[in-house]
Amino acid sequence: MARQISRMDRRELMAGIGATSLGLLLPGGSVAQGSPAVAIRARQGSLNLRSGGPETPVWLLDAPELRFRRGDNLQLEFANDLTVPAGLDWRGIDGVPAIEPLIGRRLLAAAGWEKVRIPLRHAGTFLCDMSLLEVKDALPARGKPVVVAESEPVSVDRDEVLLVEEWRLRADGRAAVPGTDATETMVSYTLNGKPSPDFSARSNERLRLRFINGSRRSVIALKLESVDVTVMAIDSQPAEPFLARNGALVLAPGSRVDAFVDVTAPPGSNLKILLHEGKQARTIGFIIVSRDPPARAAPLPPPPPLPSNGLPARLDLKNALRADLALNGPEWIATASIAISLQPAFRAKAGRTVVLALTNRTEVATVFRLHGHHFRLLDRLDDGWKPFWLDTLAIEPGQTQRIAFSAEHAGHWLIESVATDWAAPRFVRWYAVE
């Protein structure tokens, strides 16, 4: 298996992206099941990312494990213990204007404190981070996984989050920040904050593995040795279950994939978790099959789809609003310069379908992210779409991809564009649903 993934070149890696990358109550929102209260504190800390080397200064989000249920209304308190303004970005949470960074909620001043209410309308795997905070003298910032469980039971034995993060380390232990020069650095990856952790499992157990690409710039492929990997959800939304191509999951920066894995290897097996970023494969963790009795006599049958989050089954492409967006044009601005007075990329009436043609005219793959809504990746002739929803998409150089979404949430929402180059800046625009 390691030989298979190590033969993947960058073009093969990118070719899989299209197929596998994979304060206010909302009007008409679901009835609240509960109101959990959580405090999150942004502070400076450090991580030991190199054996025997100095610790690396980082920015952290101090919080308990963020696990909730669909329909909860999260009561959030956020404190900023950094020396610069900070703000939270909630990847995958649709339709909440009050938490939209930079335009719905300004950065919180140093030593500041605020409260916000977040209705959790959808189940899925999400990510809370500070990726839009690109300021002078910044430190690399860790994200915090967020899990919202389905209202209905899901038949799995274990539910694990696997957050992959990328670091560009200098000799003195400090790390280069995304958007800055990373020459003379060593690339390192961690899984749940550790260089190569172990996860235990019993034979015939079914694992739900929630993979998150916490890298800010790199598209990655993840592969588990000696098991079939069934994709169940992408970017926080259920998909029609399918086996991962060659057993590999391709994730754009910030993307999430939920996979079901049935552990059929014999007791005592060490199953590698492999990562490929387009140049080489590396082992970032292991699943250790214990010698305890099997979870059951035989593996479970193929899983049914996860419960729907209620996104529309059909999109009206015929009467859609259509807009062309070049991902690298002069209309895009740095995150620090965003202002609501700037003209939106497009305006849509609430409830109307929007089709965007996204063109990458550069010589490096570029990642597009849509805030506020999830979208379908359209087939080449606009006569259908892939059987999953996305909020993030990597687009190859010189390529155009078309996406469609139902503009059901009124408000002002960001769109992002960033090249898959560590030193590349992150650019933003915004759109309006009225």
Alpha-carbon span 259 to 269, nearest angstrom: 20
Give the amino acid at 65: E
Alpha-carbon span 225 to 251, nearest angstrom: 18
Give, for 12, the enclosing helix (H) or strand (E). helix 10-15
| pLDDT tens for each residue of 316-371 | 999 999 999 999 888 999 876 666 668 899 999 999 999 999 999 999 999 999 99
What was the pLDDT predicted at 115?
97
Q: What percent of the chain clears pLDDT 90, i.e. is strictly above it?
A: 80
Greatest extent of the chain over all pairs of C-alpha atoms, in Å: 64
| pLDDT tens for each residue of 6-23 | 444 444 444 444 433 332
Per the listing, tokens 């060593």 go with 186
Alpha-carbon span 382 to 320, nearest angstrom: 11
Homologous superfamily of the 2-8+158-289 domain (CATH): Cupredoxins -  blue copper proteins (2.60.40.420)
Please list the residues that pair with 333 across neighbouring strands.
Answer: 428
DSSP assignment letter at 371 = S
What was the pLDDT predicted at 364?
96
* Region(s) of the chain under CATH 2.60.40.420: 2-8+158-289, 23-149, 321-433
Alpha-carbon span 45 to 24, nearest angstrom: 32
C-alpha torsion angle, residues 268, 272, 273, 274 (rounded to 10):
-170
CATH of 321-433, one of 3.90.105.10, 3.40.50.300, 2.60.40.420, 3.20.20.70: 2.60.40.420
Beta-carbon count within 10 A of 174 CB? 17
Q: Which of 352, 345, 328 has the alpha carbon at shortest distance from 426?
A: 328
Q: Is 348 helix (H, G, I), strand (E, B) or coil?
A: strand
Identify the band that residue 49 occupies on the pLDDT scale cut at 50, 70 and 90. Answer: confident
Q: Which of 82, 9, 5 has the alpha carbon at shortest distance from 278?
A: 9
CATH class of 23-149: mainly beta
Choice among 39-53, 211-225, 390-404 with the minimum mean pLDDT: 39-53
Per the listing, tokens 């609501």 go with 340
Alpha-carbon span 98 to 35, nearest angstrom: 17
DSSP 113-124: EEEEEEE--S-E
Q: Which of 201, 198, 127, 132 has the alpha carbon at shortest distance from 165?
A: 127
